[in-house]
Amino acid sequence: MIFVLASAAAICAVVWITHGFLYTVAVSILLPVVYALVFHTRWCYVAIKTTPRDLRALLSYIQILWMARKFAKMDWTLPDIFHAVVQRHPDKPCFMYQDEVWTFKEVEDFSLRMSALMKNQGIKKGSVVGLLVSNCPQLPAMWLGNARLGAITPLINTNQRGNALLHSINVAHCEVLIYSEEYQSAIKEVSKDLSPSIKLFKFTHRPLNTNAKEIVGESDLTSLLETTPPAPWSLANADGFRGKLLYIYTSGTTGLPKAAVISNTRFVFMASGIHYLRLKKSDRVYCPLPLYHTAGGVISVGQALIFGCTVVIKNKFSASQFFPDCAKYNATAAHYIGEMCRYILATPPSPSDTQHNVRIIYGNGLRPQIWVEFLKRFNVKYVIEFYGATEGNANIANTDGTPGAIGFVSRIIPWVYPIAIIKVDQETGEPIRDSNGLCQLAQPDEPGVFIGKISHTNPSREYLGYVDKAASEKKVVKDVFTHGDSAFISGDILVADELGYLFFRDRTGDTFRWRGENVSTTEVEAAISKAADHRDAVVYGVLVPNTEGRAGMCGVVDSNGTLDLEVLARCLSRDLPPYARPVFIRVMTSMDLTGTFKMKKTELQKEGFDPTLVKKDKLYYLDSKLNRYIPLGPDEHQKIVNGQIRL
C-alpha cells in the first residue's frame, strides 16, 4: 500500500515539472481516489453498487420536493390541485367503476354539489364530516367537496360495528355523518349513543346522471345532491397546503382504532412518492382496495387527483378476478396490499394470467418467498414495494425491484433522507441507549426499529400523529442522535443489509423468545404458508406454565380438510431452525382479516392452546422426537401444564 502511494506521489512530482499546473490538479484529484480504493475497498464496492439506485431515488425526491414547494407557494389544497388537473383534460375518464365512467369534470361537478349542500347544513372551515361509505367514485368526490369548505373528513372503516364504530365517530368529533344505505343497521345499533347534535345522512349509490323521481326525505343525501345545483368554483376556504384534510384510522388490531391526521401536504407526499418512481400520467390504475384506507384512498386515488391518471375502483377484492379485471379495463398498473398477491398466486393457472397490459404493480406485503414466482407467472415487469405508516412522517420504497426489499437507506448519502434503524429491545420496543443516553444505530444485518426524524419546519418531515394527542406522543422517541431531537418510531422491526436494502422482520410485540432465541412471526408465517400451499397462517407466542419464554403457535386455515400435518412438519423441520418451529398448531376453517388483508391474532393469542377455550378448531402439539403434530385434547393440555409432556 505504501508503495502505491509513493508511486502516485512520484508521478505527481514528475507531472508538475514536465506538464505544469493543470496536470497536477488532475493527479491531486486522482490521489484521494487511489487512497479510497486501497484503504476503503469495501466502501467503494458499496458505492459502485448503490450509486445508480441512490441517484434514481434522489431524482424522484427532488421532483416531489419541487412539486410540494409549488403547491405550498400557492397554498393550494387538494380541491385546488384537482381543479388544475380538470382544466387540463375535463373529458378524460377520472374514475371507472363497474360500468360507470366518471370524467374529471363530472367528479368536480359532484364535489361542487357536495360543497353547496354541506354549506347549507352549516359546514365551514374546521367542521368534521364523517364518511362511512363503500367504494364508489362519489366517495373521493364527497371529501373533495368538504375540503373546499375547509372541513375535515374522517374516512371510517366500513367493517366497524358496535363499540369500534361508535368510538371512530366520537373520537373524530363528527358533526355530520354520511353512511351508505347498506350500513343503516350498523348506524341504528349505535344511534342512541351518538351525540344528539350530530346530523345523519343516508347515501344511496345510483349511476351518474340518474335522477330520482322524488325526494325520499331530508336525510337522503343522494336525493338532496341531485336537487342541489353545483356551487360556483372557487379556491378552497381552508387552512392551506399544510392544513388538515382527512382522518384515516388504524386497523385496530391492538385496541380501538386511532384516527391519524392526513394533511394536504402528507397526501401529496404519499401519492407522489409512488408516482415519481415508475408511474406515468397516462397510466390506468386498477385499485381493488378499500378507499377508507391510506393505500386505496390516498396513494391510488391520489394518482387521479394530482396527476390525472385514470383509476379503476373495484368494490371488493377478488383474487380470481384481479387480472381479468385488469384486462377488462385495460389497466397498465395495479395496486396490491397485504396477502393479496398470495391469494392471486393460489388461483388456478389460466390464459388471463398474461392476457393483460399491466406492466407495474405497487403496494406493500408481497412476500419475498413468492416475489419472483408472481412476476414470472403473471408477466409483470416492475414491482414497487413500499413501506410507511399512515400516521408516520417517513415512507420508503424499493426503487429497483430487489426481491423482498421494502426500501433502502443510502450508505453514501444517508443525510439526504433522515430515516434510520435504531437498536431496540425486540420484545418491549424500547430503544437501547448508549452511555450518553442517545439511541444507537443498528449495524448491517442487525434488527432494529425504523424511525423518521421529525422537523416541524419541514413539511416533508413534520409529524401530525393522531387526533388523540396522548396516542401521538407514544409514537415519538426523543434524544435520538442529539439531545433535544425527536423522531417518529414505527414499531416495526427491519433489517438493513450491507448495501442498505431494508427488509421487514416483524412488529415489536409480535417477536417472541423461545429457547433463548428471538422468533420472527413474519418469517415463520411465510414458511408455513409456502409449505401449506399458500394457506392463510398466523403465528404468535403463547405462555406455557413453568416454562421460560413463549412457545410458538400457528393458526392455519384448512377449509377443505386437505392439510397434511405430517408433510407440514417435515417441511418446517427443513426450512426453520428448531426454536422457530411452531409448538402448537390450530387448524381453522376461516380466519378474520382486517380491511387491508392483515391477519388478526389478538383473540387467538388470548385463547392459546386451551381446548376449553378453543372449541370449534382442532389443536395439535409437536412431538419433537417423532417430528409429528399430535392431537391436543383436555388430557394432553393438562399434561403439558403439569410438565408431564415436555415441549
Question: Which residues, 6 or more positions from 99, have their beta carbon under 8 angstroms from its beta carbon?
Answer: 207
Sequence ranges of the domains in the chain? 2-39, 510-642
Distance between start and end Cα atoms, the chain: 57
The confidence score (pLDDT) of residue 472 equals 86
Buried b / exposed e over 39-53, threshold 16 CB at 10 Å, is: eeeeeeebbeebeeb
Q: CA-to-CA distance for 281 and 104, rounded, in angstroms?
A: 14
Residue of 323, 347, 344, 342 lying closest to 333 (CA atoms): 323
- What is the number of H-type helices and E-type strands within the chain? 20, 27
- Region 549-574: mean pLDDT is 88
CB 143 within 8 A of CB 190: no
pLDDT at 446 over 80: yes
Question: Which residues, 6 or more positions from 42, have their beta carbon under 8 angstroms from its beta carbon?
Answer: none
pLDDT one-digit tens code per residue, 262-310: 999 999 999 999 999 999 999 999 999 999 999 999 999 999 999 999 9
Average model confidence (pLDDT) across the chain: 87
CA dihedral 138, 144, 145, 147 (to 10 degrees): 150
Q: For every residue of 189-230, which 3-state class applies, written as one string?
A: HHHHHCCCCCEEEEECCCCCCCCCCCCCCCCEHHHHHHCCCC
Lowest-pLDDT range of 46-55, 167-176, 304-313, 514-523: 514-523
Residue of 479, 499, 495, 586 lying closest to 542 (CA atoms): 586
Residue of 408, 413, 404 lying closest to 395 (CA atoms): 408
The confidence score (pLDDT) of residue 3 equals 44
pLDDT one-digit tens code per residue, 120-171: 999 999 999 999 999 999 999 999 999 999 999 999 999 888 888 999 999 9
Question: Which residues, 6 or more positions from 92, have their beta carbon under 8 angstroms from its beta carbon?
Answer: 103, 104, 308, 310
- The region that residue 385 occupies, defined by phi over 0 for left and psi between -120 and 50 for alpha, beta otherwise, is beta
pLDDT at 31 over 70: no
Lowest-pLDDT range of 34-43, 197-206, 466-475: 34-43
Question: Which residues, 6 or more positions from 548, have their beta carbon under 8 angstroms from its beta carbon?
Answer: none
What residues are paired with 466 via a beta bridge? Answer: 260
Distance of CA 283 to the CA centre of its chain: 21
- Region 623-628: mean pLDDT is 87
- The region that residue 206 occupies, defined by phi over 0 for left and psi between -120 and 50 for alpha, beta otherwise, is beta
pLDDT at 598 over 80: no
Our CA angle for 199, 202, 204, nearest 5°, is 155
User: How many residues belong to the chain?
Assistant: 647
Return the biggest CA–CA distance within the chain. Answer: 97
Question: Which residues, 6 or more positions from 40, have their beta carbon under 8 angstroms from its beta carbon?
Answer: none
The values of phi and psi at residue 290, to 5°, are: -65, 135
The confidence score (pLDDT) of residue 24 equals 58
Q: Would you place residue 231 in the very low, low, confident or very high pLDDT band (cuts 50, 70, 90)? A: very high
3-class secondary structure, 65: helix
3-class secondary structure, 122: coil
For domain 510-642, say whether CATH 3.30.300.350 is its number.
Answer: no
Q: CA-to-CA distance for 506 and 499, rounded, in angstroms?
A: 20
Our CA angle for 357, 360, 361, nearest 5°, is 115
Our CA angle for 228, 230, 235, nearest 5°, is 140
- The region that residue 76 occupies, defined by phi over 0 for left and psi between -120 and 50 for alpha, beta otherwise, is beta
Cell of 126: 374546521
The confidence score (pLDDT) of residue 2 equals 42
The confidence score (pLDDT) of residue 597 equals 65
The values of phi and psi at residue 405, to 5°, are: -75, 140
DSSP per-residue letters across 420-486 = EEE-B-TTT-PBPB-TTS-B-BPPTT--EEEEEE--TTSTTT----BSSHHHHHTTEEESSSSTT-E
Q: CA-to-CA distance for 637 and 138, rounded, in angstroms?
A: 54
Q: CA-to-CA distance for 119 and 114, rounded, in angstroms?
A: 8
CB 375 within 8 A of CB 435: no
Return the beta strands (E) in 98-159 as ranges: 100-103, 129-132, 153-155
Cell of 149: 369548505
Highest mean pLDDT among 52-61, 282-291, 425-434: 282-291
pLDDT one-digit tens code per residue, 335-393: 999 889 988 998 999 999 999 999 999 999 898 889 999 999 999 999 999 998 888 88
Residue of 13, 137, 153, 12 lying closest to 77 (CA atoms): 153
pLDDT at 619 over 70: yes
H or E element at residue 262: strand 259-263
DSSP state of 152: B
Residue type at 161? R
Residue type at 177? L
pLDDT at 233 over 70: yes
Q: CA-to-CA distance for 236 and 245, rounded, in angstroms?
A: 12
